[in-house]
Structure 1
């Protein structure tokens, strides 16, 4: 079942987090300020109306006339004010209106038992509240935008440091042992990325020491085995003719080939190999070598090209790819040359998933149907020699509807490599 993953950078995640927090804080503060301001304005309006009704009551008690548009026993007086006047109390009341501005009532009983009241709408107070809300909205938006800018700044700096660390780690994984992640990220600020960089540097250095020790041990063992194996092969030549002698010679030769392959892998792992470049016509070169390695293979040249490469190493790669196709695949074996690209295809069961996912591995030949013989060194050596040439070697399986089979493609570079190679090994899944 395929799971869809949304990939986003740290910069945008930090920006979004700061923006959300800023928005929540701004909304909360805006609501608090709005409610407090509204309550303060309404309470002030009540106080104004209460003072006005007191002035109107004193004037009415003295002159018997009303002022400030006060009314006596107003039939529209809200019921809560009527009840308060019945108890001899002075009171104010807020009543909602259709135009949005609340209507403020104030009433009090007079000396002759009547109720004097007055009411008004304070639209200017509503405008003040509207202006305040507008200011709060503008301030909230400014806070959110400022938070986004701050998040982009902080997250961008962190993202740049992590990208530099990632690029340096990839260079280390490609075999550049001189690169240090801590030096690559730079900067004067010390944070968690520095701890991560130092941990990666320590891990890379420890792995490099361990790999170097294993490579040295492997090379030493293979070198020590070379002399007795050579002596064994020489002694086998002196045995009398017969089936047992042939078996001994065959096994001795196989052991010698294995020792030589192990030594070659050890040299390639040391990244000390250098290519001796020559100009060759690739199509003609491949045709001659295929006739030598696998006469039954079909060779086609779609486009001729001259390339600068090491013929010996290119021959080694081509021979190992053809040997792998002959051992683990099925015919027909097809070799195609298209410019700087060499494609070797068989019609067997295809490369195992482990090889497509992880690349060639020594002493691993894949699944059962491709594990009948061999030590898994052929493709490992081909990949190492391709790296020395600065070439790119890819592996994939053909579409079953098109006949299936394994396809190995060698992409030769346009320019000569300056060190141990310019392109990494890439596995392309089907």
Structure 2
């Protein structure tokens, strides 16, 4: 950093310390092929969108603040060094005039200083005045030399500590400002990410309610339609899909109800005609099949009514223990009833009888004895000791024309549990299904939770 006769900004003559920068990255965790955890797969912790946006903004803010701080620091340091060189250059010229006129050395000037840097000695031999900055950390040492007429070299050496102390104050201000920028950016990220995350979470909850059968729920209303962004477009698309799906389901329900309704009259006539057949085994078979067909048509009509979500329960206060005893004795006399704790529930007796009858029929048809019915407060459990419910029923719930048995060749049309679930929904109750482990006897358990009085 020599300057010849004033300011020359060449950097080749500068002696400076080199600083090495190392970058550290996050350690990557790799699983060995033989590690059991690697075979099972590790579930990464869930990181919400809010924190992802927050981290991204914080990182960008930190990088921008760091770059700007370095630029400002280097620019300020370079300006201070140039000013110090100019000042030292003026001082050495003033000391030269005093020495040549009076022969006295002023301002701590020295002649032929042995510590004079080699670049300055070389320039002095060429008859050039120059400055030199020695940067060994801290405040730089500024040299200035000028050749004299008698062949000697007049030089000055100074450290401008007062000027470079301002640089420390500037660095402190940059650190505080950068920290404020990062904190402000992080807070802004939390605010923006939180708002977006809340809207997406509300959209997911509303979409889940639509999937559960609440066709009147609209995602755009749930998230609030005031902000026009990608979440609003997503909500519009989901609402349009829900409307289309609801329309198709309603059309399917109406077709099913119309077909069942049209079949009711001829099937009723068929049942009546079967009763007029002369006694005998063929007549019994015809009457049995005609009655089964009539039951199927009535079940399909009931499912269609339940799908229409227009059914209303006639609620009454019912002593649950006594009610279950009487209904089980009539529907499945072979089943054992245990009342651990009685309760008065608020329910529709006719619909509750329908639910209980369908659960008992499913246990008798697809399970194995003994069939056990237990009452414990507002809970009613029906258990058999058969093969249990199939996995798809436990996962997705009852579905029409899918029986409660893993053996599809069994009897039944799969409408019993569907009707039981629909009637439970009308009652405001809850019906769950599970299997008992084999070491505990095996079997299927249907558990009904009724609202109390």
Single out whichever of 314-323 and 295-304 deviates more from structure 2.
295-304
**CA displacement, residues 132-158 of structure 1 (integer Å, 9 cap, x when unaligned):** 111111111222222233233333333
- What corresponds to 1:22 in structure 2? 61
**1:218 Cα deviation from its structure 2 partner:** 0.2
- Aligned residues of 2:318 and 2:346 also touching (Cα < 8 A): yes
Distance 2:427 2:318 in 1: 14
Distance 1:51 1:248 in 2: 125
Pairing 1:78–2:117 present: yes
**In 2 relative to 1, CA 88–324 (structure 1 residues): closer, same or farther, beyond 3 Å?**
farther
Single out whichever of 79-88 and 335-344 deviates more from structure 2.
79-88
- What corresponds to 2:28 in structure 1? none
User: What is the aligned-residue RMSD (CA, Å)?
Assistant: 2.3
Single out whichever of 164-173 and 118-127 deviates more from structure 2.
164-173
Distance 2:436 2:120 in 1: 91
- What corresponds to 1:41 in structure 2? 80
**In 2 relative to 1, CA 377–63 (structure 1 residues): closer, same or farther, beyond 3 Å?**
same
Q: Structure 2: 5+ residue runs without aligned partners?
A: 1-39
- What corresponds to 1:6 in structure 2? 45
**1:214 Cα deviation from its structure 2 partner:** 0.5
Distance 2:317 2:82 in 1: 95
Pairing 1:180–2:218 present: yes
**CA displacement, residues 35-82 of structure 1 (integer Å, 9 cap, x when unaligned):** 222222222222222222222223223333221112222222222222
Choose from 239, 244, 254 the match for 1:201. Answer: 239
Single out whichever of 252-261 and 386-395 deviates more from structure 2.
252-261
- Aligned residues of 1:354 and 1:366 also touching (Cα < 8 A): no
Choose from 97, 108, 112 the match for 1:58. Answer: 97
1:12-411 aligned within 5 A: 12-97=51-136, 100-365=138-403, 368-369=406-407, 372-411=410-449
**1:90 Cα deviation from its structure 2 partner:** 2.5
**1:170 Cα deviation from its structure 2 partner:** 4.0
**CA displacement, residues 85-129 of structure 1 (integer Å, 9 cap, x when unaligned):** 23333332232446x222222223222222222222222233211
**1:193 Cα deviation from its structure 2 partner:** 2.7
SS in 1 for 2:402: coil
**In 2 relative to 1, CA 121–183 (structure 1 residues): closer, same or farther, beyond 3 Å?**
same
**In 2 relative to 1, CA 402–2 (structure 1 residues): closer, same or farther, beyond 3 Å?**
farther
Single out whichever of 328-337 and 156-165 deviates more from structure 2.
156-165
- What count of residue pairs does the alignment treat as equivalent? 414
SS in 1 for 2:237: helix
Single out whichever of 240-249 and 224-233 deviates more from structure 2.
240-249
**What is the TM-score with the length of structure 2 in the denominator?**
0.84
Single out whichever of 178-187 and 390-399 deviates more from structure 2.
178-187
Structure 1 outlier segments of 4+, above 6 Å: none
**In 2 relative to 1, CA 340–127 (structure 1 residues): closer, same or farther, beyond 3 Å?**
same
**In 2 relative to 1, CA 226–407 (structure 1 residues): closer, same or farther, beyond 3 Å?**
same
Distance 1:346 1:388 in 2: 26
Distance 1:275 1:364 in 2: 26
Distance 1:23 1:367 in 2: 62
**1:262 Cα deviation from its structure 2 partner:** 0.7
SS in 2 for 1:68: coil
**In 2 relative to 1, CA 5–362 (structure 1 residues): closer, same or farther, beyond 3 Å?**
farther
Distance 1:371 1:212 in 2: 30
**In 2 relative to 1, CA 88–346 (structure 1 residues): closer, same or farther, beyond 3 Å?**
farther
**What is the TM-score with the length of structure 1 in the denominator?**
0.88
**In 2 relative to 1, CA 203–81 (structure 1 residues): closer, same or farther, beyond 3 Å?**
same
Q: Structure 1: 5+ residue runs without aligned partners?
A: 416-430
**1:260 Cα deviation from its structure 2 partner:** 1.1
- Aligned residues of 1:328 and 1:370 also touching (Cα < 8 A): no
- Aligned residues of 2:109 and 2:156 also touching (Cα < 8 A): yes
**1:363 Cα deviation from its structure 2 partner:** 1.3
- What corresponds to 1:425 in structure 2? none
